[in-house]
Amino acid sequence: MMTETARHPRLPTDTDNGLLVIISGPSGVGKTTITRGVERSFADSVFSVSVTTRAKTDADVEGVDYRFIDDATFDAMIERDELLEWADVFGKKYGTPRAWVEEQLARGRLVILEIDVDGARQVKEKLPDALGVFILPPSEEVLLERLRARKRESEEQIQKRFAEARREIAEAKDSDVYDTFVVNDDLERAMNEAVETVRLARRG
Ligand code: 5GP
């Protein structure tokens, strides 16, 4: 995926190993933990920080988890074609800044996107070499239990997330966006499987 362009002149630390990895999965499936595990396993990995119009929570770090922006700023980014992809998730917008991803790929880095199925589809259309990884719960019952165990939301909100998760899983399975589905039956095992999948893709 390495290309030398006027915008990205080659640096001594650049390699030809650039790989874009998309990690998706419903909420409550352990996706973020697995993503961070993949990130830690590759010395040259970088995590793409998305922009979003959703409100920042106490658990979020500005500029690390997301860049929190308002609707007008988001719309201006779409207008200027600054987003590689974007999607509406639970009524809020989320998007991946394009220039940064392109530069990191040109430098030969392992670039990780944690995005939803809609966004993943857009990325695969533009960059078919991207590796798509979808994290699945061992069963629907387990997913519902995990959503409840987080104790973050009311039962009504949990049911909404559960329905959304089922829809997203069905959509992911029907699409040809994902190269691999990793079942998170055991966090350590699932993380190793995701890391090995990325390692193989990088060799290939
Ligand atoms: P949360 O608000 O819980 O952090 O994320 C909600 C959902 O938005 C997750 O499924 C996450 O993968 C997705 N998401 C986060 N960033 C992006 C992005 O840049 N683009 C798209 N399409 N989805 C995103």
Q: Domains plus CATH for the chain?
A: 19-203 (3.40.50.300)
CA 11 to ligand 1 centroid distance, Å? 32
Spatial CB neighbours of 92, under 8 Å, sequence gap ≥ 6: 52, 53, 54
Supply the residue whose CA is at minimum distance from atom 2 of ligand 1.
54
| pLDDT score for 13 | 82
Residue 119 in this model has a pLDDT that exceeds 50: yes
CA dihedral 97, 99, 102, 107 (to 10 degrees): -120
| pLDDT score for 73 | 98
Closest ligand 1 atom number to CA of residue 119: 22
Pocket probe for ligand 1: among 69, 115, 126, the residue whose CB has the most ligand atoms within 8 Å is 115
Pocket probe for ligand 1: among 24, 50, 61, 123, the residue whose CB has the most ligand atoms within 8 Å is 50
| pLDDT score for 8 | 73
Supply the residue whose CA is at minimum distance from atom 22 of ligand 1.
119
The better pLDDT of the pair 152, 53 is held by: 53
**Whole-model pTM?**
0.93
**What is the mean pLDDT of the segment spanning 107-134?**
97
| pLDDT score for 6 | 65
CA 89 to ligand 1 centroid distance, Å? 7
How far is it, in rounded angstroms, from Cα 146 to Cα 58?
A: 21
| pLDDT score for 28 | 82
Confidence band, pLDDT 50/70/90 cuts, at residue 190: very high
Supply the residue whose CA is at minimum distance from atom 19 of ligand 1.
95
Cβ(122) to ligand 1 under 6 A?
no
Closest ligand 1 atom number to CA of residue 90: 6
Average pLDDT value over all residues in the chain: 93
pLDDT tens, position by position, 4-45: 566 677 888 888 889 999 999 998 889 999 999 999 999 999
CA distances from 23 to 46, 57, 133, 176, 180 (A): 13, 22, 5, 14, 10
